[in-house]
Structure formats: structure tokens, C-alpha cells
Amino acid sequence: MNSISTFDITKIPLLDLLRDTQQGKIQLVDFQRSWCWNEDRISRALASVSLGFPIGVVMFLKQGNPKIKFKPRLVESVVINETPIPKYLILDGQQRLTSLLMALLSGKPVSIDLGKRHPPEERWFYLDIKLALDYPNTPRRDAIFSLKTDKKLRQPGQPTIDYSSPEKEYEMGFFPVSQTFNFPQWRSGYCKYWKYAPDKLAVVEQFEAEVIKKFEHYQMGVFVLSEELPKEAVCYIFEENKKPQCELTYFDLLTSSYAATEFDLRSDWALREQHLAQFKVLRLLKNTDFLQAIVLSSSYARRLKALNQGCPTEKLPGVTFHREEVLNLDLEEYLQWASSITKGFESAARFLHNQD
């Protein structure tokens, strides 16, 4: 019996993944939440990679199925004048890839999430070379720290320490993580600063061998989902891999799908929701309820049409609002029924109001 797989699994060098993401070859599906990692999680990811330890696999959806189109968006911190059509869309692993891209390759400070009550804060990440080389006596996480954008360390009761120039980094032995994939140039400056002192050369060579090479040779496990997967399968896989962090509704999925044809389902629903909210009984109506009503009406219309055309009873299309049916609702059907369903809800609300 032939085995049919819905995915491939492979390992890809971290640098290749980050470069492809930076170039827009890898993008996010628009329904993904925004990037939101804090300093501790970013530091832990950097520590694991610097030791060659796994940080989990990422999952991509391969593009190429003309029947399934999702609106893509660039990963946080990526800016491209002309955004290309992506080859892959990230379904799982956004936070890890974004964090590593910002810290290692963007050339800009990393945007740190401080919670809902505070705006993000930008920071540069560093490795204390001496502490990094003291592993395992010193946990690698303890060798990683961050500084604000001015690269100055301020501690209560202590004078401010300035690390804002390469020379100060060389003097203190603090390596900027942002230079990881540009290490030869940084090492050259370090060696010149210390006038090629043998003890300093030995330290930087050991640091390169034990830490930098781990980054350069690091490979991430990647699941690549087949482009032939239907929408409902993509939705199911996304939800199962995101539990319990989020629940992806078919409204989110259709929003992204319709956006590929330049129709903003979320804005359209917002206007309808605002209109229907004038009726107290409809204030808890959800966008998924609205879509189910459309699918019920459209499937009933298809059944009537088939019946009028003499279709045998046993072969008549069913009247349904199952998840799979909603996911297959095309934009033409939505536009055909949306206004009628809105009026239907309004009429029902007026009828109920008159029964009081």
C-alpha cells in the first residue's frame, strides 16, 4: 500500500532560514498573532543555539496551490521595498524565528515585549565572553545580557558604564550578538585593539570555536506542509500546534483567504456588527455565527436549485453549516448573501422585540 504524506521534514541551516525570512521568501500567514516575546525567552533561545541545543521545530506551509491563497505579511523587523511572493508561510515557530532574526541578523536592536500595560522596549543583546567560556560552571543563560539602545549600563549606586563603541566592547570582553554572522570582522577589530596579544588571541579563538561555530553550524528542524492540503486541514494543524495559546476560527482563516483578493472581511464584518449591535438581542452575535448563517442559506439555495432541476432526493445537496463548508465559502457566495443575512438578523431582532 502506498503511503501518502502531507508533509516533509528536514533540517535547514539557521542562517539560511534567517536570510530567507529577511528577504521575504518566508513570511507569516496574516492571521498569525503579532510577535510578543520578552527578554528572558529571547535570551534562553540564544543560549540554547549557542550551545547547539534544539529549540523546537518550525512549521511552514508551502505555497503553490492556486485554490488556496492566504494573505501573507512580513515578519517583524523586516522591511522590503518590493515585497516578493513568499515561497513558504510560517504556521508555527514565528516567535523563535523572529527573535533570532532580530538579535542575530537585523542589525537593529531587538523589540522586547513588556506586557500589555507597557510599550515595547528596544535592546541590544551581548555575550560576556569570559562567562560564556566558563560553561558549564556558569550557565550559558547567565552569560547573556541586554542593554538599551544607547548601550549604556546603569545600575543603582554604580557609575554608568558605556559600551557604545567597538573599542569599549573589546576592552570589556563583551561580544554583540548582532555581529555573530559577521564575526571575522569583529574579531579583526578585537585583535587589532589588543595588538595581537597572545592571551587575547587565545581567548577569542576559543570563543569562536566553542560559541560562534555553534551558531554558524546550527540547523533547525522544519516541517513543510504540502501545498495540496485543504483549508480545513491547515486550520486544524495550526490550532493543534497552538493550543492552548490561541484558537484559530474559520473567520480568521477566511479573512486571510479573502484578503488575497483584496477584500477585507474583518472591516466588512465590523460595519455589519456595528449596525446589528443597535439590537440588544444581537450584541453577542459572533462573526462565526454570521458565516454559519450565510453557509446555511447558500447550501439551502443549492438544494432548492438541484430539486427544481429534477435531482433525485437521495442525491440532493445537504443543508449544512459544518466547519468544512464554512471554510469552502468563496468570496462570491459571501458577497451574494451577506446583505440578505444582515437584513434577516435585523428582521428577527425586530420580531423578537415586538414580542415583549
Residue in the block written with cell 523572529? 98
Give pLDDT < 70 ranges for the chain. Answer: 1-4, 31-35, 67, 116, 231-232, 235-236, 238-249, 256, 259-260, 323-324, 356
Longest dimension (CA), the chain: 93
Domain ranges of the chain: 7-225, 249-354
Cα–Cα distances in Å, from 147 out to 98, 109, 155, 159, 170?
A: 19, 9, 12, 15, 16
Quote the pLDDT of residue 241.
64
* Distance from chain centroid for Cα 305: 43
Q: State residue 240's pLDDT score.
A: 65
User: How many helices (DSSP H) and strands (DSSP E) are in the chain?
Assistant: 14, 12
Q: Which residue matches cell numbers 589588543?
A: 194
pLDDT for 318 equals 81
Instruction: Tell me how far apart the terminal alpha carbons of the chain are, to the nearest angstrom.
Output: 64
Q: What is the dihedral of CA 319, 321, 322, 324, to 10 degrees?
A: 100
What pLDDT is attached to residue 4? 58
pLDDT at 3: 44
**Joined grid coordinates for residue 189:** 577589530
Q: Coil, strand, or helix at residue 292?
A: helix
CA gap 92, 236 in Å, rounded: 13
What is the tens place of the pLDDT at every residue in 83-125? 898 999 988 888 899 999 999 999 899 988 877 677 888 999 9
Tally of CB atoms within 10 A around 218: 21
Residues 6+ apart with CB under 8 A from 266: 255
Please answer whether residues 40 and 46 qualify as being in contact, where contact means their C-beta atoms are separated by less than 8 angstroms.
no
Distance between alpha carbon 94 and the CA centroid of its chain, in Å? 3
Dihedrals phi, psi of 310, to nearest 5 degrees: 85, 20
Distance CA 88, CA 24 (A): 9
On the question of a cis peptide bond just before residue 198, with omega within 30 degrees of 0, the verdict is no
Give residue-wise pLDDT tens across range 8-49.
888 999 999 999 999 999 998 876 666 678 889 999 999 999
d(CA 180, CA 117): 33
- Those residues whose C-beta lies under 8 Å from the C-beta of residue 38, and which sit 6 or more positions away, are 112, 113, 114, 115
Give me the pLDDT at residue 263, please: 82
Query: What secondary structure does DSSP assign to 52-108, as a single string?
Result: T-----EEEEE---TT----EEPPTT---SSPPPPSEEEEE-HHHHHHHHHHHTSSS
- Taken in order 227, 228, 230, 236, the sign of the CA dihedral is negative
Phi and psi (nearest 5°) for 323?
Answer: -55, -45
Provide the pLDDT for residue 244. Answer: 45
Task: For residue 59, list its beta bridge partners.
Answer: 92, 223
